[in-house]
Structure 1
Amino acid sequence: MKKKILSVILAAALTCSMVVGCGSSKETAKDDKAATSSSDGFNVTVNFASEPMTMDPALNSTVDGGVMANHLFEGLMKWQDTGEEADGSDGTVDSAELTYGQAESYDKVENEDGTVTYTFHLRDGIKWSDGKDVTAGDFEYSWKRLVDPATAADYSYMLDSVVNANEIIAGEKDASELAVKAVDDKTFEVTITTDVPYFEEICAFPATMPVRQDIIEEKGDQWTFDPSTYISNGSYKLTEWTHNSQIVMAKNENYYDYENLGPDTITFKLMDDSNAMLSGFKSGELDFIQDAPQAELPSLIASGDMKILNYLGTYYVCFQTQKAPFDNPKVREAFTLAVDRTYIVNKVTQSGQVEAGGYVPSGISDADGGDFREEGGDYYAPTDADYEANCEKARQLLAEAGYPNGEGFPVVEYLYNTSDDHKAVAEALQNMWEQELGVTVTLNNQEWAALLQTRKNGDYSIARNGWISDYNDPISFLDMWMTGGGNNDAQYANPEYDNIIKQAKATSDATERMKLLHQAEDILVGQDYVVNPLYFYTQKYMLADGIEGTYYCPLGYFFFGYTHQAN
């Protein structure tokens, strides 16, 4: 039966949003910048993070990289504004809906063998930034490349619902056997193993966006570094990448909606010093920031200069489960219980975060339309009212592990990326663990890209980590911990856990599926203590006066392609 999307909307907690002009404490500077913009074109300068680890959408696994990919590339589906105010937005945030991107429609057919076939019909006139037509063959190549072990994409499992994908990822079949094909230049067909409730959202995810086969085969892994070979199909195109300084994008004249685009250029300044961020915002150098010095946050939030939005994510500590002493679940549980989460959210982060009693955050849907976190409950008492009892149990567990009062426990290192807020959390954790457990914890900070690689390689004991939902489903937080998973930085391996996740992915019974996912979290957090959740994220940001039309989605993405200057 043919299906057209009129309104495919995430649950209330996962409504993408539009941010309308926020207050600035430096109106004169902003007015000067606006005057410059009007004479030289409209240009927006933003900051999300320092140097990205990769600009390849298939290899990216960070939110900041995803924000860039969403401007440079476009999948079969995309997110757009509805113009309707989101709950709690105070008139500044609109909700959004999932709609068609490079596709103009799709058919969905349930087959007799239980598989489901999607047939996407591509838009007329879609082109790459060099003017060549985007074809269904581009999607076929890109999806097969994503699951090919040779690509080594952390997000290869994003397509594990596609027939033969798991066998390809495991090296048992060739990537050519993935059940996707270009029927013709305008028709892309995908067969999945069972009806997946979030499949349309996968089709809007950066890892499934198309890339150019001829460019990659000619340039290899160097294709992303030169604007002349960084060919994309999104609303913007790469014009400059000055490493450790800035990435500049310009409107893509070949984009099908070019006439409605806003800024002539979007510049991503690459920095992670929160003092420099706030200074740049106040001086007018930056139009958008997500962070500020820790000491400044309470006053910025209270004044309304810094806004707070919903964010579907969890900030957590990651343990290297294959290395002593954190190969022992009792040690991991002890370190989890010895954290005063209320102190961290009230005295350290101070941005409305909520103490985490589990890994999957609040706002993720359950089978009956409820909240997965509420249904699952807490695995430990997350607030400081129970902190002393938690610490007493933690000390008992550490003694059972062979380290009474911390005696004989090796010196361990906590790894985090350079940033005031991460540093403040690290210092708080260090103090709690040393004071309550009698252990010694040193601190080590690295630049963002370096941290990602260190963590991925498993060259750490404890590390700062965080996960933002890829779509509104608990599987987005749980399948990453399967043995050998590309985002499994804990190097966790548990056949029982793997089997439960596989069962959850194989069933089309929504109630049974959620039951299995709760069982998986029970093992991950309630039994094996693989991760130590600290709090559920909120999204803070500052946007310059006079700029309207910037979309936000609680998956962590901001969209600047349709921003404009206020009249």
Structure 2
Amino acid sequence: MKKRFALLLTLLLALGMVLSACGGGKNSAGDKGSGKEKPKQEFRVNIKTEPFSLHPGLANDNTSGTVLRNTFEGLTRIGMDGKPELAMAEDYEVSEDGTVYTFKLRDAKWSNGDPVTAHDFEYAWKWALDPKNESQYAYQLYYLKNGEAANTGKASLDSVGVKAQDDKTLVVTLEQPTPYFLELTAFYTYLPINSKIAQKNPDWYKNAGEDYVSNGPFKMVTWEHRNKIELVKNDQYWDKDNVKLEKITMHMIEDVNTELSMFKKGELDWAGAPFSALPTDSIEQLEKEGILNIKPIAGVYWYKFNTEVKPLNNVKIRKALAYAIDREAIVKNITKAGQIPAMAAVPPSMFPENEKGYFKDNDVETAKKLLEEGLKELGYKDVSELPVIKIAYNTDEAHQKIAQAIQDMWKKNLGIKTELENEEWAVYIEKLHRGDYMVGRMGWLGDFNDPINFLELFRDKNGGNNDTRWENPQFKQLLIQSQKERDPEKRLELLKQAEKIFMDEMPVAPIYFYTNAWVQNDNLKDVAISGLGDVQLKWAYFE
């Protein structure tokens, strides 16, 4: 428990801070070892898979977000200290009631030389809210006045609270005061789009080329689908003098053993999270070698239940499956990187009591009782009449091992038959969004430092990233109340009540709270990893 407590303290300290990656690896590729030659400012990394989309309004996964955070820039950016700082905006004012933000944009250009204007922000945000574009993350813009109404077809896009007053002035009106709004404006759904390019070519974002323009520290010059992405320093970027890397190569290698081998050969400068993952079997050895970096982050690994599919439409069956998982065994024997078993949805860094959670880990006795009650409610005589439960996961060594372990636990503890299904990421996430699954693994990393971020994606049955098809009116009302509550303590209490409802109905089975584990080139400095697990290379360089 002492080790767990120390890890939790580290997690609490990690939020709001940047983890400056400053050592731990023995790879020194790029320096040639002379000690006198100027190192090449070229960073090579593996992002493991094809991004879901490199359109800011369509992206909904960590891989896409990693590329976008380094090629685009919003009104704000999460700085080296882990706090939002001005980026495309050079100044802003907030109304006395906290609902109107007036941003003044700096003189900045797109990578093709076009000026970045307030109209580009207005266009991008309204594009994501336009229901015909089916943005999975449109709900992140519901903080805007009439954002939700426009996205659900109940109001016009013209009524949304974002307006370019002129080329350099953006006026944003919110539904209610939002204390973390300047964190939100750093998130990729809030990024601008070159409206002139996008209106001329609706497919501008599907390939590298003259139409794929960005406004961040790097620009994309190569996109070999399912192979690699190449970024180079953006010479049009307003803050280019503080960007030291000249080139970034992002490989898409699914086999993490190959990734680690390439790192050891000096062919990569980084292996593992947050870009990819380390082979679980290698973690103990890397720790012995003294080159393993481990940092807790605000994220949770969970199994989603499709609550519209029998027998998962029964809450007692869902709870039986969740209770019959031995999380301690999973983090000890499979993931091995200091993860905390999760019996709650919100990370302990936000709700400290969630280190203990809402139920007992590996509570097989209660699980059996719940299973028996659920079977009766569904009209089954016994477990042998249950349909085979299919566990889906995206192709990955660790996901496979966890799925196999849970398959064994459900068979041994409950007598439930399961089948495993795996797909590569782009196909897998599409299947989950369509509801074409029974049980599906997924992870959620905080988009901003607030508990609501781990709850609001389940607010609406057809919400962009819900996938479970679960909805509860009382849960939804508590989230709405929390957004209107000005007292911070009362607001947190409303969110805790919402989480209790969520865990009582169990549309997901939490497995563990994340850590990032990686090895890196010793000479690589100032890779900024926030307490939420986001990674930025704007300030990175080789010493």
Return the TM-score normalized by structure 2: 0.92
CA–CA distance in structure 2, aligned partners of residues 375 and 441 of structure 1: 29
- Selected match of 2:163 from 178, 181, 197: 181
SS at 1:220's partner residue? coil
> Is 2:416 the counterpart of 1:439?
yes
SS at 2:83's partner residue? strand
Counterpart position of 2:49: 50
**What is the CA distance between 1:278 and its match in structure 2?**
0.5
Counterpart position of 2:306: 320
Task: Check 1:137–1:349 CA distance in 2 against 1; reply closer, same or farther (3 A cut).
Answer: same
Counterpart position of 1:505: 483
Can you list the C-alpha shifts for 1:115-161, whole angstroms capped at 9, x where unaligned?
A: 611111111x2110011111111111111112111221111111212
> Is 2:343 the counterpart of 1:357?
yes
Task: Check 1:158–1:182 CA distance in 2 against 1; reply closer, same or farther (3 A cut).
Answer: same
Counterpart position of 1:63: 62
Report the more deviating stretch, 241-250 or 506-515.
506-515
Task: Check 1:78–1:21 CA distance in 2 against 1; reply closer, same or farther (3 A cut).
Answer: same
Can you list the C-alpha shifts for 1:8-67, whole angstroms capped at 9, x where unaligned?
A: xx984422424344233555x66549999958x421011233111111111111112111
Counterpart position of 1:89: none
SS at 1:466's partner residue? strand
Counterpart position of 1:274: 256
**What is the CA distance between 1:399 and its match in structure 2?**
4.1
Task: Check 1:534–1:459 CA distance in 2 against 1; reply closer, same or farther (3 A cut).
Answer: same
Give unmatched runs, 5+ long, in structure 1. Answer: 1-9, 83-95, 365-371
Counterpart position of 1:348: 334
Identity of aligned residues (%): 33
CA–CA distance in structure 2, aligned partners of residues 242 and 430 of structure 1: 36
Counterpart position of 1:86: none
- Selected match of 2:292 from 285, 306, 319: 306
Counterpart position of 1:378: 357
CA–CA distance in structure 2, aligned partners of residues 420 and 494 of structure 1: 35
**What is the CA distance between 1:227 and its match in structure 2?**
2.2
Task: Check 1:441–1:35 CA distance in 2 against 1; reply closer, same or farther (3 A cut).
Answer: farther
- Selected match of 2:225 from 243, 248, 253: 243
Report the more deviating stretch, 136-145 or 244-253.
136-145
CA–CA distance in structure 2, aligned partners of residues 400 and 413 of structure 1: 21
Task: Check 1:498–1:20 CA distance in 2 against 1; reply closer, same or farther (3 A cut).
Answer: closer
Counterpart position of 1:411: 388
Counterpart position of 1:92: none
SS at 2:393's partner residue? strand
> Is 2:121 the counterpart of 1:122?
no
**What is the CA distance between 1:260 and its match in structure 2?**
1.9
Counterpart position of 2:95: 109
Counterpart position of 2:150: 168
CA–CA distance in structure 2, aligned partners of residues 71 and 273 of structure 1: 24
CA–CA distance in structure 1, aligned partners of residues 412 and 281 of structure 2: 24
> Is 2:183 the counterpart of 1:207?
no
CA–CA distance in structure 2, aligned partners of residues 204 and 181 of structure 1: 18
Structure 1 contact 78–100 (Cα < 8 Å) conserved: yes
Task: Check 1:138–1:443 CA distance in 2 against 1; reply closer, same or farther (3 A cut).
Answer: same
Report the more deviating stretch, 461-470 or 222-231.
222-231
CA–CA distance in structure 1, aligned partners of residues 498 and 423 of structure 2: 32
> Is 2:315 the counterpart of 1:337?
no
> Is 2:509 the counterpart of 1:532?
yes
Structure 2 contact 116–194 (Cα < 8 Å) conserved: no
Give unmatched runs, 5+ long, in structure 2. Answer: 1-10
CA–CA distance in structure 2, aligned partners of residues 199 and 45 of structure 1: 33
CA–CA distance in structure 2, aligned partners of residues 377 and 167 of structure 1: 38
Structure 1 contact 48–289 (Cα < 8 Å) conserved: no
Residue 313 of structure 1 aligns with an amino acid whose one-letter code is G
Report the more deviating stretch, 530-539 or 272-281.
272-281
Structure 2 contact 17–83 (Cα < 8 Å) conserved: yes
- Selected match of 1:462 from 434, 439, 446: 439
Structure 1 contact 434–440 (Cα < 8 Å) conserved: yes
**What is the CA distance between 1:287 and its match in structure 2?**
0.8
Structure 2 contact 314–374 (Cα < 8 Å) conserved: no
Structure 1 contact 334–395 (Cα < 8 Å) conserved: yes
Structure 2 contact 254–396 (Cα < 8 Å) conserved: yes
Q: How many residues are matched?
A: 527
